[in-house]
Amino acid sequence: MTQSNDILRPGSAQELQAMIAAASGALAIEGSGSKAAWSRQTSQPTQSLTTADLAGIDFFYPAEMVVQCGPGAKLATLESELAAGGHRLAFDPPDYAALFGKPDAQPTVGGAIAANLAGSRRAYRGGPRDHLLGVQFVNGQGEAIKSGGRVMKNVSGYDLCKLMTGSWGTLGVLSQVTMKTAPLMEMRRTVVVQGLEEAQHLAALIAASRSPYDLVAAAYLPAGEAATLGFDASVSLLEIEGLEPSVLYRSEQIATLLAKTLTGQAPSCRNLDQEQSANLWRSIKDLAPVLGQPQCLWRLKPKPSDAAAVMAQLRARFDGPGLKMLVDWGGNLVWLASDQAISRADLAGLPGQKTQLIGSDDQPFEPLHPLQTELQSGIKRAFDPDGRLNPQRLYSDF
């Protein structure tokens, strides 16, 4: 057990348990601290606790598609370990450290799970919630709890993995996570679609997502944002992967399909190979095209069929040189960055969930319906009755 600058650094699950049991007040829980600037601040913490030293990889069995590690494992370390065995994390967690002005912080697995952060494949391959098979954590009473396990299918008792995902460390502090991994495919390819108006681009995302060609990711970038990735005009990007003959076949079919279904302009389609694809999608999930020093960054989640209208509205309301947008998840996710301050009130009337990642609203997360607040406060109390773990980091009510 080491203690520096009043930061608790448990080196084992037992130490973690002892520290929480002994806590005299609220604890601020951190992984690497890469997302500290995002959420609400923990209310009156008496101490910080970091899981950075719970970083070991316990096992990785490619043939069983499973990896187990401590929550403090760096995503970068874990991903290179998995890649060496021909695998990856299917939910493709993004790295927002640069975005939050902490380029040296190395995001951890625990942080990606606690914030429920998925990359571009979310709409087609699932998010952290879908790939977390088992957890061990310590609740606010200092009790060690487990749920799930290391096997692919498990309905033994309530699924606490789902509750831990996205709970921002308010319910328990993870001491161990077990995740499903996915094999790296023989071939990855991105179909690059250009020569369309914005609404047509967004229609292209829908058409491709409705097709049998099994996309893993689909994004759209307006011209300015596309330029940051080296494209000369606005672009839709459709990623597929699999065995080589299959990928070759599907990329052609997608081009044919788009030429047939999109009315008006004929899109121009070309393909990016493996390495270009990998770099491109890394930039998109880490939000490189909207980086800079925005005053605000919002994550909007409309239905894909509403995405075009949402973008048109955003442009009408906030037009200016600092406005940047990026559509991911096949149209289910619209990123909005601006040099102007934009508050939740300014976004009123736009459909779908809205979450602030950068900005001055003191409530970054989508407000809850009163009955939801009642239930979620109840859940908080069921795990952490004394409010020791990140109180109010998620919502002011709990």
Q: CB of residue 284 vs another protein: minimum separation in angstroms?
A: 17
Please count the CA atoms within 13 angstroms of the CA of 274 that sit on its side-chain side: 7
Least gap, CB of 366 to another protein (angstroms): 4
> Using CA atoms, how far apart are residues 141 and 308, in angstroms rounded to an integer?
47
Q: Which of 247, 248, 269 is nearest to 258 (CA)?
A: 269
φ, ψ for residue 289, nearest 5 deg: -65, -20
**Rounded least distance, CB 159 to another protein, Å:** 5
Min separation Cβ 33 and another protein, Å: 21
Under 8 Å between Cβ of 79 and 88: yes
CB atoms within 10 A of CB 61: 13
Residue closer to another protein by CB (options 9, 335) is: 335
Q: Which is nearer to another protein, 13 or 226 (CB)?
A: 13
Nearer to another protein, 192 or 206 (CB): 206
Return all residues near 306 (Cβ < 8 A) that are at least 6 apart: 351, 352
Residue 253 CB, shortest distance to another protein, in Å, is: 8
Which distant-in-sequence residues (6+ apart) come within 8 Å of 244 by Cβ?
A: 186, 187
Among 182, 173, 234, smallest CA distance to 14 is for: 173
Closer to another protein at the Cβ: 292 or 367? 367
**CB nearer another protein, residue 143 or residue 273:** 143
- State in angstroms the smallest separation of the CB of 292 from another protein: 25
> Of the candidates 267, 284, 217, 271, which has an alpha carbon nearest to the alpha carbon of residue 244?
271
Question: What's the min distance (Å) between Cβ of 2 and another protein?
Answer: 27
Give the closest residue to 59 by CA, choosing from 87, 21, 33. Answer: 87
The secondary structure element, H or E, covering residue 210 is helix 198-210
What is the Rg, in whole angstroms, of the alpha carbon atoms belonging to the chain? 21
Strand partners, 66: 61, 180
Residue given tokens 């809205």 in the structure block: 354
**CB of 227 vs another protein, minimal distance in Å:** 29
Contact by Cβ (8 Å): 122, 217: no
Q: Which one, 27 or 133, has the nearer CB to another protein?
A: 133
CA distance 196 to 207: 14
- Give 22 or 369: the residue with its C-beta nearer to another protein: 369
Q: Which is nearer to another protein, 54 or 394 (CB)?
A: 394
Closest contact distance (angstroms) between CB of 179 and another protein is: 14
CB of 316 to another protein, least distance (A): 22
Give the 3-state secondary structure of residue 148: strand
Beta-bridged to residue 337, according to DSSP, are 297, 324
Which CB sits closer to another protein, 205 or 226? 205
Question: Is the CB of 151 or the CB of 266 nearer to another protein?
Answer: 151
- 80 closest CA partner among 99, 98, 67: 67
